[in-house]
Amino acid sequence: MARTRFAPSPTGSLHVGGARTALYCLLWARRTGSPFLLRIEDTDQVRSTDEAARGIVRDLQWLGLLWDEGPEVGGPAGPYFQSQRLAIYDRYVDALLASGHAYEAWEDKSELEALRVAAEARKETFRYTRRAYTADEVAGWRAAGRAPVVRLAAPTHAVTVPDVVLGDVTVAADHLDDIVIRKADGFPTYHFAVVVDDHLMGVDLILRGQEHLMNTHKHEGIYEALGWRHPGVGHLPLIFNPAGAKMSKRDKAKVAREAAKARAKAEQHGDDWRWLAVSTGYSAAEIQAFADKKSDGVAIAEAIAKALGVALPLIEVQDYRKAGYVPEALLNYLLLLGWNPGNDREFYAVDEMVAEFDLSRINKTSARFDPAKVQWMNGEYLKRLPLDALLARHDQYLEVRPDSPLGALDRDRRASVLSLWRERCATFAEIDAAARFLFHRPLGYDPKAAAKHFADGGLDRLTTAATAFADVAWEARALEAALLPWTDGTPAGMGRFAQPLRVAITGTAVSPPIFDVLAWLGRDEVLARIAAAQASQTR
């Protein structure tokens, strides 16, 4: 058995790095015929939210990374929210206290900070050292309402972790610390809860990002103290952004901050942020704190970006959903972002991923996320997906983008719009932008296109087209055939009519096949737009 799990903390939306971890865990579970678990690690009472937990569940479901045990599914090892397992953790903390492997530590934050400062003054790395307290000290702290934390006595020997990706990783004894396993608020730390849960839930293999590598040695001390076997573990390569830094939600804040400062400088606002507060819903003081890097909130970054018309980097799964990506493309890209198939193949269905996935092919070095490549891959999926599947994915897009103009259309009309643009656009959001003219008449015309295609008889050809279309059956091929008597039967001859029509109908010289567009818009709308274009050029 190779029972795996994905255990996110609901402190925000699902990062694409987390989605890759979940994918690899699921693929290995399916490859080995083992269950795949989802556990929500919500012991951080300050940062964890129910909304974030629900969002993570929805994003995993959208990706098709469905779990065999966990929230909304249940299972024999539940509950699957750590906040509902406190009594379980207390039992094992008490056992470690009784065995002498753990002890109560009474220092508060200020006292711990003083110890850190003293260590820095000695040019040493701070590591907590157990100290003895007098009965009077403990009594005084209790009377004052202070609660202790519980720390684990660290192993006195070097700890080696056999990693299925990186090989053996050893940490010397003098680099190990007496970590906190239960906080003063009574909640377990991440380090303790994850060990207890992985053991009790029968996890055989833990796959997680390399940022957790040094945590694994801390966990080994807990396994050792409890007399349990450490599951297999593998640490996945980090994901870097195009600039070569770790891909982080803070990237959004950086882009929004730079855009706000640039606009403030250009318009000479100085440090007065009231101009931006009006359009974001945040106070000038909140924006000032954001500009000064005292906060990195995603919500305020998104509000600023929307107000300034700035595109933020796509970092979270929710970003890709709202941008109109399909899950197949994102999964396919994430598969190859840290795993080497051993050939040049780029497209995999999920069952093919399962058949090919091998832990030995996980890369050791960091991967660099390429936004252009994942966008290209998404465009390929828009072209390749059967129309019914594409419509199903578009239904999911409309769930997170109710503002899409296509949302008001019935299924057949939506299908026709998607068919017009699936070869030309890489995302559903691009289709929304490109198809805007279907729902709104042009307010103006591209100057170069109008000068080129309305001149030299172009407006007269619009009159001819309107006359030809007056009584014809309103279907693309019939509309094209109606113009043939006025052309020489060549593409160039038809183009002399098609291009003025395209500019009149769309406002630009670029669109899907113009006769398909005319058929979609309908006779009355087309004739009205032709008349409006002619009138605009004779004023």
How much is the average pLDDT of 41-54?
91
Q: Nearest Cα to 312, choosing from 368, 260, 264, 256?
A: 256
pLDDT class of 271 with cuts at 50, 70, 90:
confident
Percent of the chain having pLDDT more than 70? 100
Q: Which residues are paired to 168 by β-bridges?
A: 162
- pTM for the full predicted model: 0.92
Q: Nearest Cα to 77, choosing from 38, 41, 24?
A: 38
Q: Give the residue with greater pLDDT, 171 vs 490.
A: 171
d(CA 407, CA 418): 12
Percent of the chain having pLDDT more than 90? 87
Q: Give the model's pLDDT for residue 140.
A: 95
Q: Nearest Cα to 303, choosing from 318, 287, 319?
A: 287
How much is the average pLDDT of 133-137?
94
Please determine, for residue 44, whether its predicted confidence score (pLDDT) is greater than 90.
Answer: no
Q: Give the model's pLDDT for residue 539.
A: 63
Query: Strand pairing of 149-152 and 102-105?
Result: antiparallel
Q: Give the model's pLDDT for residue 1.
A: 57
The CA-based dihedral angle spanning residues 267, 271, 276, 278, taken in that order and rounded to the nearest 10 degrees? -120
How much is the average pLDDT of 72-100?
96
Q: What's the angle, vertex CA 169, arms to CA 166 and CA 171, rounded to 5? A: 155
| φ, ψ of residue 236 in degrees (nearest 5) | -85, 150
Average pLDDT, the chain: 94
Q: Give the model's pLDDT for residue 489.
A: 76
Does the annotation mark 249 as catalytic? yes
Q: How far is CA 140 from the centre of its chain?
A: 49
Instruction: For the chain, give the longest Cα–Cα distance.
Output: 106
Q: Give the model's pLDDT for residue 27.
A: 97
Q: Nearest Cα to 231, choosing from 270, 196, 277?
A: 196
Q: Which distant-in-sequence residues (6+ apart) come within 8 Å of 387 by Cβ?
A: 415, 418, 419
Q: Which distant-in-sequence residues (6+ apart) come within 8 Å of 517 by Cβ?
A: 420, 438, 502, 505, 506, 511
- Taking only the tens place, the pLDDT of each residue in 390-435 is 999 999 999 999 999 999 999 999 999 999 999 999 999 999 999 9
3-class DSSP state of 496: helix
* CA dihedral sign of residues 389, 392, 393, 394: positive
- Taking only the tens place, the pLDDT of each residue in 232-247 is 999 999 999 998 988 9
d(CA 371, CA 319): 12
Q: Which distant-in-sequence residues (6+ apart) come within 8 Å of 89 by Cβ?
A: 182, 188, 192, 193, 196
DSSP label at 324?
A: T
DSSP label at 454?
A: S
CA-to-CA separations, 275 to 101, 272, 278, 284, 300, in angstroms, rounded? 58, 7, 6, 8, 15
How much is the average pLDDT of 357-384?
96
The helix, strand and coil proportions of the chain, stated in percent and rounded to the nearest 5, come to: 55, 10, 35
Residue type, 351: D
d(CA 21, CA 338): 10
Name the catalytic one among 183, 249, 322, 452.
Answer: 249
How much is the average pLDDT of 108-115?
92
- Taking only the tens place, the pLDDT of each residue in 295-339 is 778 889 999 999 999 999 999 999 999 999 999 999 999 999 999
